[in-house]
Amino acid sequence: MRAFEFLSESILLEKARGLLYRDRGDKFVNPQGQEIEFQQVAYIPSQPGAYKTKEEFDAGVEQLKKNYPNVVFVNNQDNSMRAVAVLEFKDTKTNEMVYFARYFKQITNDMTGQWKNDGLPGNYQLQKASSLKSSYKMKPLDIFAPGSEFATPQALIKELSASPNGQPLAADAAVILRGQLPMFKGMAEKETAIRDDFGEVLAPIALLVGLIKTPGSEEARETLNNNAPWSGTIKFSNQKTSGLVDSEIELPTGITLGISSKGKDGAKASIKNIYDGIKVIEKQQDQSLITNNPEAIAIIKIVAEASSVNGPFAIAEELKKPDVVALQPIIKDLIAKNPPDFNAYPQYQSVLESYASRKKADKKNPRYNIGYQVLSVIAEDMASEVNKIKGFGDTCIKLVNSSPIVQIYTQTAKQGNDVAVTGFDALYPPNFKGKISLDASKVYYSTGTNGRYTFAFDPS
């Protein structure tokens, strides 16, 4: 099992399955207080299925409108669409039925995630903890522009005041600049979001203004900041799921201090987190972790340094898989030319077709590329081989725990209708526990690549 996007498995599935896989009785509430209760979903013409002609489809839609009075369509129809999904709800006060419909190209066997939980018009919100928390939009990327940097905590609070999502929190948060713990008035129902999401904003400020004086923070200050008072530039990621690190502080010492704001069960470790651990150990007298795990260290360096296209083949070479290495120039040629088939490569045709058959791809997608389709399978195969190396995951965990990361825990409590931040705790050196494995699933696609390999972190 792997835990992605800073979420436990249960929360991940809750978000991923979407509206088409709700349970009967799940409740949604809009800002006006209207509450509707999920009943069932209907697929037209069927699951799986789609109308063969536009005429059949138009007739089906007309019949749908008769069967579901006052149905509200949430998207516009185009000529490629030949199917509809209808969600049936019941108003909990009036017992009247409420219907929403969405056009699709076709209804497939698996419609997971095809209609997001927040995809109902009227700002209806699913009344479950994970969906409610994300709806409050308190994560750094909800508040600031991607990749935002702040030279001082004061500059961050000023920008917080100017942000539509940050403004309601700014006045209460500003007391942290005076060394006081914030109290967020009238936000008791948002405690989890304040702790877990807005805690990612508060944690680096709390460290820089001296609010955190735990043994862990003091050890980090002595080791990484030459025992000087904390100072530096705060940096946030351009992605909500940035890895084990939620923010960074560029210290005057030249070290980039990672801040892991806790309150989550799992995360994706970035190659930088792990590679930084190697660089830290290389400066220490005891380098046994490196010398005792040469194969794992070699793989990690390949992932950190090789391009996304070259990486899988460099790993294959390290693992002594010449048949895979031999495909590298062919794959690059396929990516560059994107032919309709493998006929131009008779020597490798059967092998390439075998790889391609293992990965479903939408060949009508204008970004589809036959070379990337094969590369994605090879990348997944090489990740699987790497994860079989004895001690690979343990070595990665030890490297992350050797990197300049401080884990900061934001502690909160409800006080009447308010939420009080009751303190911060810091752990250094980091103590991530669990399993790390090489992961290609979020990077390699039939339409291209999205950077280098990532590392999946499973805290269980």
Domain ranges of the chain: 9-131, 140-255, 277-400+437-458
Per-residue pLDDT of the chain (460 residues), as tens digits, is 222 222 233 333 344 578 998 888 888 988 788 999 999 999 999 888 899 999 999 999 999 999 999 999 999 988 889 999 999 999 999 999 999 999 999 998 878 888 988 889 988 888 765 555 666 789 999 999 988 999 999 999 999 999 999 999 999 999 999 999 999 999 988 898 899 889 999 999 999 999 999 999 999 999 889 999 999 999 997 765 445 678 999 999 888 888 988 643 333 445 566 776 677 677 667 788 888 889 989 998 898 889 999 999 999 999 999 999 999 999 999 999 999 999 999 999 999 999 999 988 888 888 899 999 999 999 999 999 999 998 898 888 888 787 788 989 999 999 999 999 999 998 888 777 777 889 998 889 999 988 888 887 776 5
DSSP string, 378-424: HHHHHHHHHHTSTTHHHHHHHHHTTSSEEEEEEEEEEETTEEEEEEE
Provide the 10 A C-beta neighbour count for residue 129: 12
Q: Residues with Cβ < 8 Å from 152, sequence gap 6 or more?
A: 208
pLDDT digits (tens, 9 = 90+) for 22-54: 888 888 988 788 999 999 999 999 888 899 999
Amino acid present at 62? E
Structure tokens that stand for 56 in this block: 């059949």
- Close Cβ partners of 264 (under 8 Å, ≥ 6 residues apart): 6, 7, 8, 196
pTM for the model stands at 0.52
Cβ contacts of 427 within 8 Å, gap of 6 or more: 216, 406, 407, 408, 409
Three-state DSSP class for residue 207: helix
Query: Maximum CA pair distance of the chain?
Result: 77
Contact 201, 142 (CB under 8 A): no
pLDDT in tens, 83-142: 999 999 999 999 999 999 999 999 988 788 889 888 899 888 887 655 556 667 899 999
Judge contact between 382 and 398, C-beta under 8 A.
Answer: no
- Residues with Cβ within 8 Å of residue 223, at least 6 apart in sequence: 428
Residue 316 to residue 383: CA distance in whole angstroms: 10
Helix axes 392-400, 271-282, angle to 10 degrees: 80
